[in-house]
Structure 1
Amino acid sequence: MILQNGYVFTGGPGAGKTSVITALAMKGFAVVPESGRQIIQEQVASGGEALPWANKILFRDRMLAAAVHDFERQVPDGQPVFFDRGIPDLIGYSKLENLPVPAVLEEYATGMRYHPRVFIFPPWEDIYRGDTERKQDYATAVATYEAMQGAYTDSGYTLVTVPPANVADRVAFILANL
């Protein structure tokens, strides 16, 4: 299935994706937030192990289940839906972390397609900040960006680089490039 109205934002952590998603939601657009941060918060609160610093495979598999659920609940009605990460991000994450890429992940990435243009946010050191859920350093953020770039290119998507700018200008850029 192709979700022609589903636009993915990808890139490394701390590049401004969530700020842009939030601004789009405030403008009334449908958005799907990143599941990773929510999974981390839930796992920390419950003492679970599906954490990127505890059990990377279990963490990835929880994110995959959330990504599939998020994809399936969208209606292809023509109105844009903005995803803070998509299924191919999990291929990039697997490769970044030297994890095996399970066949089911490849099947979902092939069978559940987003709009062919994916917005990629390059690393931007001036705005990068770590926090309790984002423990990667800037070098890892750069490596993550490169892994996502490869995962989406290998999956047949066309990448549109979102230039570093204030949130309003980034939103305008994205809306002009739908």
Structure 2
Amino acid sequence: MSPTPPGNFVVISGCSGGGKSTLLAELARRGFAVVEEPGRRVIAEEQPSSGTALPWIDLAAFARRAIDLSLRDRDEASGQDGWVFFDRGLIDAAIALEHASGEPAIKAYGSAHRYHRHVFLTPPWPRIYVHDAERRHDLDAAIAEYDRLLAVYPSLGYDVTILPKVSVVDWADFLLSALNQGER
């Protein structure tokens, strides 16, 4: 499997519970292609069967499943025209795997499988952070993860923009304006 060129693949990452999925829903409503967060899909597959590849049981196994799903997502999105927005993705999963196991996943996946150079991060936003069946960690753990993302993306050569704490409509406008001012 050869790596997919990054041209139109845009990562929206950041703090867990920071509003990424809400932003992706707004972009989809506007007609853009979006790819749902791999981690939430892994959880949705594991929970009904009492699987253990869950972040609160076996983070490394969970991250490996998210990596596999992210690679598949990239392959499936490779024929899309226009912007394709990813709710997290391969690099986030590689960061989680390296954090959980020490395996050198970030450089391996982050160098070979690029996204658009501009990455958008949702910051910690305690006012909107909530626990749910798929998000069992507390805000402190979410902020620690955010700090890892904030360190790794620039180290891989990505330009990181922290999204302002505004309405979802304004978020989408801000993000699209930033992308349209730059080049593919």
Whether 1:122 aligns to 2:110 is no
CA contact (8 A) 2:64 2:97 kept: no
Question: Could you tell me how far apart the structure 2 residues matched to 1:36 and 1:55 are?
Answer: 13
Whether 1:88 aligns to 2:60 is no
- Runs of 4+ in structure 1 off by over 6 angstroms are none
What corresponds to 2:45 in structure 1? Answer: 42
What corresponds to 2:147 in structure 1? Answer: 146
Gaps of 5+ in 2: 180-184
Q: Choose the corresponding residue for 1:56, options 59, 82, 92.
A: 59
Identity %: 36
Output the TM-score relative to the length of structure 2: 0.90
What corresponds to 2:73 in structure 1? Answer: 70
The Cα offsets for residues 72-108 of structure 1, whole Å up to 9 and x where unpaired, read as 12236650000001221123323544x21345x5322
What corresponds to 2:5 in structure 1? Answer: 2
Question: Could you tell me how far apart the structure 2 residues matched to 1:77 and 1:17 are?
Answer: 21
CA contact (8 A) 1:125 1:138 kept: yes
What corresponds to 1:169 in structure 2? Answer: 170
Pairs within 5 Å for 1:9-24: 9-24=12-27
Corresponding letter in the other structure for 2:103: V
Output the TM-score relative to the length of structure 1: 0.92
Aligned length: 176
Q: Cα offset for 1:35?
A: 1.2
Give me the CA root mean square deviation: 1.5
